[in-house]
Amino acid sequence: MKQWRPTPSTVWQGRDDTAEADNALRLFQTITCSSTFSPAQQPGDIALLGFACDEGVKRNHGRTGAAQAPTVLRRALANMASHAEHRRLSDVGDVVIEQTDLEQAQQALREAVLACQRAGKRTLVLGGGHETAWGHGLGVLDAFPQEKVGIINLDAHLDLRSAPQATSGTPFRQLARHCTAQQRDFRYACCGLSMAANTQALLDEAAYRNVTIVEDMQCLSAPLEAIAQLEQFMADLDRIYLTIDLDVLPAWEMPAVSAPAALGVPCAILLQLLAPICRSGKLQAVDLVEFNPSRDREGHGAGVAARLAWQVIRWWG
């Protein structure tokens, strides 16, 4: 596998409580790593894959640093309790970018995701900027060519930009065009959207693409209605690709992103939205993107992001 590196064993470390009881286990003690890219050989049905890249954020004039996120998020996950559901997780390493060749890195991610999915795994990708979604989404679409695959993006932004080259702001425009070229329906929901952070041009593009939009204000004032909208979106799908842009959270909870949200959807409400998606029986792929450790405060953002990943694994039916 090109443009790939294994996770060093030093990353998965934590507090050892096994002197208290055999089942006093944390993730660092239950996760498996491999020195080669070999998803079919690794145990469990959730493959953890890093995408160490922020070239898309750079091209989108954002604050870089997300390339370091996969390692920092693994470290934050390492010391969290490992319950039965977490034993399904194995670490298949990182896809890395060479110099500034984003397109090549996204293609490598696409191939790594496809290999994991073909090996019967579901994929949990730790980005990277939101350019992660172009590679991850393609890999999932490739794996299920005959099925109705829907994308749920928890994000303040639509990321439907039109640009001469791929950025962190273009992945869903790229996936929409790809679906059209493949004569597939583009099924896309953006939940947590800030009207203040998306121009009318982007909203027009969303309307043209028949995108389901659930605004941040709706999530805050009527979470049950927001859930109902998501359930309606999911009803007609075979598989779901869930992408969580951490800038959907408020800046006070998640300062460690390129574009912090002044309002945002707090983690406690986001978890209410996540539960029915995770338990739908259709969830095939999840990523957490845009985490930027260089902007974190005392590791609090990493803790919030890791808790979201931990909870997704626990609920993933």
Ligand X SMILES: N=CN[C@@H](CCC(=O)O)C(=O)O
User: 45 near 120, Cβ under 8 Å?
Assistant: yes
Tell me how long the chain is: 317
User: 256 near 246, Cβ under 8 Å?
Assistant: yes
**Is 169 an interacting residue with respect to ligand X (CB under 6 A)?**
yes
Ligand-binding annotation for 157, yes or no, is: yes
Which partner from the list Mn ion, ligand X, none does 265 bind, CB cut-off 5 to 8 Å by kind?
Answer: none
Q: How many residues of this chain bind Mn ion (CB under 5 A)?
A: 7
Which partner from the list Mn ion, ligand X, none does 60 bind, CB cut-off 5 to 8 Å by kind?
Answer: ligand X
Type of residue found at 251: A
**Is 259 an interacting residue with respect to ligand X (CB under 6 A)?**
yes
Which partner from the list ligand X, Mn ion, none does 194 bind, CB cut-off 5 to 8 Å by kind?
Answer: none
**Is 60 an interacting residue with respect to ligand X (CB under 6 A)?**
yes
CA separation for the pair 49, 35 (Å, rounded)? 13
C-beta of 169: minimal distance to Mn ion in Å? Answer: 7
Stretch that binds ligand X, among 77-85, 156-164, 184-192, 280-288 (CB under 6 A): 156-164
Stretch that binds Mn ion, among 105-113, 114-122, 125-133, 294-302 (CB under 5 A): 125-133
**Is 264 an interacting residue with respect to ligand X (CB under 6 A)?**
no
Ligand-binding annotation for 247, yes or no, is: yes
C-beta of 130: minimal distance to ligand X in Å? Answer: 4
Which partner from the list ligand X, Mn ion, none does 169 bind, CB cut-off 5 to 8 Å by kind?
Answer: ligand X
C-beta of 218: minimal distance to Mn ion in Å? Answer: 17
**Is 174 an interacting residue with respect to ligand X (CB under 6 A)?**
no
Choice between 110 and 130, CB closer to ligand X: 130
**Is 67 an interacting residue with respect to ligand X (CB under 6 A)?**
no
**Is 70 an interacting residue with respect to ligand X (CB under 6 A)?**
no
Residue among 59, 110, 161, 282 that touches ligand X (CB under 6 A): 161
C-beta of 86: minimal distance to ligand X in Å? Answer: 29
- DSSP secondary structure, the chain, as one string: --SEEPPPGGGS-----TTT-TT--BHHHH-EE-SS--GGGSSSSEEEEEEE--HHHHHTT----GGGHHHHHHHHHHTSB--GGGGGEEEEEEEE--TT-HHHHHHHHHHHHHHHHHTT-EEEEE-SSTTHHHHHHHHHHHH-TTS-EEEEEESSS------SS--TT-HHHHHHHHHHHTT---EEEEEEE-GGGS-HHHHHHHHHTT-EEEEHHHHHH-HHHHHHHHHHHHHT-SEEEEEEEGGGSBTTT---SSS-BSS---HHHHHHHHHHHHTTS-EEEEEEE---GGG-STTHHHHHHHHHHHHHHHH--
**Is 157 an interacting residue with respect to ligand X (CB under 6 A)?**
yes
Q: Cis omega before residue 93 (within 30°)?
A: no
Stretch that binds ligand X, among 115-123, 134-142, 154-162, 182-190 (CB under 6 A): 154-162
Ligand-binding annotation for 155, yes or no, is: yes
User: 44 near 89, Cβ under 8 Å?
Assistant: yes
Binding residues for Mn(2+): 130, 155, 157, 159, 245, 247
Interface with Mn ion by CB under 5 A: which residues?
A: 130, 155-157, 159, 245, 247
Binding residues: 130, 155, 157, 159, 245, 247
Interface with ligand X by CB under 6 A: which residues?
A: 60, 62, 130, 157, 159, 161, 168-169, 258-259
